[in-house]
Structure 1
Amino acid sequence: MNAEPTSSTAEEREQVSSKTRRSAKAVVVGAGISGLATAALLAREGYIVTVLEKQPTVGGRAGSWESEGFRFDTGPSWFLMPEVFDHFFRLFGTSTAERLDLVKLDPGYRILFEGYRDPVDIVANRDENIKLFEEIESGAGRKLDRYLVSAADTYDIAIRRFLYSTFTSFRPLLTADVLKQSPKLLQLLLQSLHSYVARRFKDPRLRQILGYPAVFLGSSPFVTPSMYHLMSRLDLADGVYYPIGGFTTLIDAIEGLCMSEGVTVRTGMTVTAIHTQPGESTPSSKKRHRASVTGVDYFDEQGEHQSLQADVVVSAADLHHTETTLVDDSLQTYPHRYWRRRIPGPGGLLIYLGVRGSLPQLEHHTLLFSQDWRENFRKIFGRNSSVPEPASLYICRPSASDSTVAPAGHENIFVLVPIPADPSLGRGGTDGAGDEAIERLADTVIDQIANWAGIDDLADRIVIRRTVGPQDFVEDFNSWKGTMLGPAHTLKQSAFFRGSNASKKVSGLYYAGGSTLPGIGLPMCLISAELVLKHLRGDTSTGPTAEPAPTRTQG
């Protein structure tokens, strides 16, 4: 990934330098991946940084749970866009290779289709996937080749011009490459991913393979802009990776960067308010804010009320919670009325299973797709939502690639079922102790996996079981409507239409994470941290931040 030079002026750089010299204090709310990444970047910039995390451990949604020799990643499980991680680590003079033990999965994932006997495996080779499409539908191989060329072109311009943009100025976007491709980009924005795919492929299985990436974006292929067909470059051409030891190793690596930069991370701290004072003009613009940030209030581990002063506050918590709970009503950039017009991503039923014996029927990643695709998404996102039956769902079996996540002779299974973002569906628990509706749905899903994958005795072999429901996301992460991901990536909730990384009313208040720019997913959360840094620098460039020159090896 080639970083472009920043567009900050000499005066702005001097202002940043001056601020750095006086060792300004920054508080980051939340120690998920975006909070830790932001903290590390700010500390490297010269800020004195404290991270306050509600939970007893760091990681947020990308957490870890251990029981009886099993270790489960509790959230993200797909490692895509490796160049984003490479760039982030290089900002600190290190690399992904030094910090993580990545393996490329082959096959990348397996799909089981309702109504079809044979599974379809997507492998780690672009040409082989083209052959696979051709075997399923005559002429589809050639069409997939063109589709992936378009996906790669769109992905490249997204990286260069959009994903790393704060959208505080549109002038940097008026470049020759953007203007040349603007007719195509406009068309991609105005039609759905499903329509774009359906015009090119007839077989319903191929349509589902190419439409499913919308779920990674917390949305439906029927409303997600076809701009996001770029996602297919990632799994069908670039491949899917996995960090040995699980995604907790990624969190450990970024927490390690925080420690090396002098960040203080405090867990068990519940932030209750963001404090402000009457504002004045910001250093990088003549715009007058109504207020400027002065610090936060929080409860410590003993439940005692505490305050912490800060020149900068970055909330990596849920944006809805931050704005409607932590900020005074008159200073909210995104008040309650804003959220009434927003569409949440799906809620989720999560099931963590320790299983006795082997499960060769499942790959590291396995997807189950229901036949009535449109109805499945209508039930999740429709006005009168309900739990789909049968549900399309996702299974992660990390023990297929990693011997450290389960005891010998056992398998580690994580199941994710997209369901409506509705906290009233309930909360989960261990060993069947969750709410009745959640546990009953988990039983149905386990039976579905057993039937579709041909594992007749699956339920009898389960030795560890834990469920998580939408209400858990509310209680653990202050999640808006219990969504497991954040606002869905519809047209009106993508790019510059999505929540900004900076408050419009409070100077010094910034936001990071999946509910703000650029969006959902681990790579996007890393980029959101970098966007906070760009705001602080007054940097309106559209590409990644310039990386430090590599250290010369002494010979």
Structure 2
Amino acid sequence: MNRPQPRARKAPLRTLPGRPRQPRAVTVIGGGISGLATAGLLARDGHAVQLLEQNDALGGRAGRWEAEGFRFDTGPSWYLMPEVIDHWFRLMGSSAADELRLTRLDPGYRVFFEGHGQPVDVPAGREGAIALFDSLSQGSGEALARYLDDAEDAYSVALGRFLYDDFSSLRGLVHPEVLRRVPRLAAMLGQSLHGRIAQRFPDQREQQILGYPAVFLGTTPYQAPALYQLMSHLDLAQGVLYPEGGFAALVDAMERLAREAGVQIRTGARVTRIVTGPSRGGHRVEGVVWTDSGGREHRHGASIVVGAADLNHLETQILPEELRTHPEQAWKRRDPGPGAVLACLGVRGPLPQLAHHSLFFTRDWPDTFGRISRGEAPAESTSIYVSRTSATDPGVAPEGSESLFVLVPTAAAPEWGRGGIDGAGAPAVEAIADAAVRQIAAWAGIPDLADRIVVRRTFGPADFAHEFNAWRGGALGLAHTLSQSAFFRPGNASRRVDGLLYAGASVRPGIGIPMCLISAELILKRVRGVRSPGPVGPALVPPGAEDAVVARDAAPEREGVTWPI
């Protein structure tokens, strides 16, 4: 089955313009989103970049699986913060509109609430969300308008002052834009997201709509700081997009641009050691040792190494103990975030009961999240996310069939085992997937759902540990609790080894595709010696601008563009 091809465009220039710089040899460990993004930007900046990925395919957690004409994304599926994604493409000499075919989803998603007969469709856009809240609880639309105003303001400050800052200097924190908001920011940091929502919205359905984005941050609304209400600006005001071909199309576009920039990509290359040597007062990077798929060992020299893999694995497995910035003891105090059981289901016949994105929320949220934190299996009915990409993209399933991706947030418990094909996974994993299918069937009114499944593959917490070296089998990365957010989150550079840098979901700024793209820019800025907050080059193009989202076949052909720093 053919994937959508990018629109015709002229090849971008090789390098980013700016002050002269000396090319350096760079090795990037890990070919996920952050690794591809970092490698591409550094190659565009004139460096000789090699990327090493241990698996046979690129994308990391943004994976894919195909069987019998069905296609599935096995990782991220919500396209949020489009201006951040577009900004990376612009730095690479293109744009999201040139590389992807984006569709705005309306409704953005559908929510099934336990104890309520009819699901709720959450429309695209601020005004539709306000009208929805008024229909759920009279007068709450006005409260939502104020809440979204605060969310937009918090997002604006975060984007301009916090997210694109590696906090190697604290100058950004004393900027007037931040200082005049100190009382409000302090209040948001001192209160949980759930607490802030519950004060303003008594209806539990509204609380759950506003609180669930905390799961995208690897935490719960009871643990996430209230500052993360900014997430509601993303899904309720900006809206949710979908790239035709799924997030695999995003990975393919990033790989294509990275190769055009000169990145040398090797898959099946497992890094076993970071090579260091003495420097004035410490140690410096000299390269890496890696093994290929045939078991042969190789050594590659580099003056910069970017670890874009799991931070715990990088520090505790391929660095000697005396050179670790984050030793074993530090990890005992950290929260790995949730694990997950995933199920890719090819279903015969239509499923109009489900939207492109559907959420299933139990009445007892504290029990759902408590089981995750205690390491217990989910209850028979739990909170579930379902992606029916075939609702928007018919190319992901055979005609007359549907492609479903089911995610059940669970404890980060690799001891539960791995998934498998056609029920061959570990019993604990398959039992959770079976329960999820039963719940979806009952709540959405699809009594024959299980009988119509013709393709099935599951993934368990041990798959995350095995495939991505994820610490404790975490599905997303370190949870965005207060003690693991902003400058409290692990930094982007080793304190013990010069030239060893870190990108990805384990470090600043955090979890999710946009955050991983920003981490790549943080690496570019550090290599260039730039310490000021804010994105590289031009201002971000806000959603709704002319080329942020275009009609499927109406994108203009663009010249390759480059931006100064």
TM value normalised by structure 1: 0.93
Q: Which residue of 2 aligns with 1:341?
A: 333
CA distance 1:494–1:552, change in 2 (3 Å): closer
Q: Distance in 1 between matches of 2:438 and 2:278?
A: 59
Say whether 1:110 aligns with 2:110.
yes
Partner of 1:6: none
What is the letter of the counterpart of residue 492 of structure 1? S
Correspondent of 1:538 among 505, 508, 529: 529
From 464, 467, 470, the counterpart of 1:476: 467
Contact 2:100 2:244 in 1 (8 A): yes
Question: 2:273 touches 2:290 (CA, 8 Å); kept in 1?
Answer: yes
Tell me, in whole angstroms, the C-alpha distance in 2 between the residues paired with 1:253 and 1:455.
37
Would you say the 8 A contact 1:429–1:467 is kept in 2? yes
Q: Match of 1:410, as an amino acid?
A: S
CA distance in 2, matches of 1:546, 1:488: 30
Measured after TM superposition, the shift of residue 300 of structure 1 is 0.6
**Which amino acid letter does the alignment assign opposite residue 152 of structure 2?**
A
Distance 1:442 1:198 in 2: 31
Q: What is aligned with 2:182?
A: 182
Q: Which residue of 1 aligns with 2:85?
A: 85
For residues 64-463 of structure 1, the aligned pairs below 5 Å read 64-280=64-280, 288=281, 290-382=282-374, 385-463=376-454
CA separation of 1:499/1:132 partners in 2, compared to 1, >3 Å: closer, same or farther? same
Give 1:551 shift. 6.0
Give the aligned residue type for 1:337. Q
Quote the Cα distance in structure 2 between the aligned partners of 1:324 and 1:345.
19
Quote the RMSD (CA, aligned, Å). Answer: 1.7
Deviation at 1:201, TM superposition (A): 0.4
Aligned to 2:547: none
Verify the 8 A CA contact 1:388 1:419 in the aligned structure 2.
Answer: no
CA contact 1:102–1:242 (8 Å) conserved in 2 = yes
Q: How does 1:42-81 map to 2 (within 5 A)?
A: 42-81=42-81
Distance in 2, Cα, partners of 1:386 & 1:70: 29
Letter in structure 1 aligned against 2:160: R
Give me the whole-angstrom Cα distance separating, in 2, the residues matched to 1:430 and 1:405.
19
Amino acid aligned to 1:135: S
Matching residue within 521, 525, 528 for 2:519? 528
Provide, for residues 189-238 of structure 1, a one-character-per-residue CA deviation record: whole Å limited to 9, x for no partner.
11000000000000110000000010000001001000000000011111
Q: Deviations over 1:328-374 (max 9, x none)?
A: 10000011111000011100000000000000000000000011011
Deviations 1:50-84 (A, max 9, x none): 10001101111111111111111110000000000
Which residue number in structure 2 is paired with residue 284 of structure 1? none
Aligned to 1:283: none
Q: Mind listing any 5+ residue stretches in structure 1 that lack a counterpart?
A: 1-15, 281-287
Quick one: distance in 1 between partners of 2:218 and 2:247? 20
Rounded Cα–Cα distance in structure 2 between residues aligned with 1:194 and 1:389: 24
Shift of 1:17: 6.1
Report the alpha carbon displacement of residue 175 of structure 1 after superposing the two structures with TM.
Answer: 1.3
DSSP 3-state at the match of 2:180: helix
Deviations 1:361-394 (A, max 9, x none): 0000000001101111111113x54323321010
SS at match of 1:128: helix
Give me the whole-angstrom Cα distance separating, in 2, the residues matched to 1:386 and 1:458.
23
Percentage of pairs with the same residue:
54
CA contact (8 A) 2:93 2:560 kept: no
CA contact (8 A) 1:93 1:548 kept: no
> Aligned partner of 1:414: which letter?
F
Structure 1 residues 446 and 94: CA distance shift in structure 2, 3 A: same
Using the TM superposition, give the Cα deviation of residue 114 of structure 1 relative to its aligned residue in structure 2, in angstroms. 0.6
- With normalisation by structure 2, the TM-score equals 0.92
1:486 lines up with 2:481 in the alignment: no
Q: Distance in 1 between matches of 2:314 and 2:19?
A: 29
After superposition, the C-alpha distances for 1:264-288 in whole angstroms (9 at most, x for unaligned) are 00001111111100123xxxxxxx5
The one-letter amino acid of 2:123's match is V
Which one-letter code corresponds to 1:408 in the other structure?
A: E
Letter aligned with residue 307 of structure 1: R
Give the partner amino acid of 2:175: T
Q: For structure 2, list consecutive stretches of 5 or more residues without a partner in the other structure.
A: 1-17, 541-557
* AA partner of residue 198 (structure 1): A
- Segments of 4+ moved more than 2 angstroms: 384-389, 547-553
One-letter code of the match for 2:467? D
1:125 Cα deviation from its structure 2 partner: 2.4
Q: Distance in 1 between matches of 2:190 and 2:416?
A: 34
Q: 1:488 to 1:149 in 2, by over 3 A?
A: same
- The residue type paired with residue 327 of structure 1 is L
Number of positions where the alignment pairs a residue of Structure 1 with one of Structure 2: 529
Task: Give the residue type in structure 2 aligned to 1:352.
Answer: C
**3-state SS of paired residue (1:151):** helix
- Deviation string 1:310-338 (CA, Å, 9 cap, x unpaired) is 11000110000001001110000011111
On the 8 A contact 1:80/1:234 being kept in 2, the answer is: yes
Contact 2:108 2:240 in 1 (8 A): yes
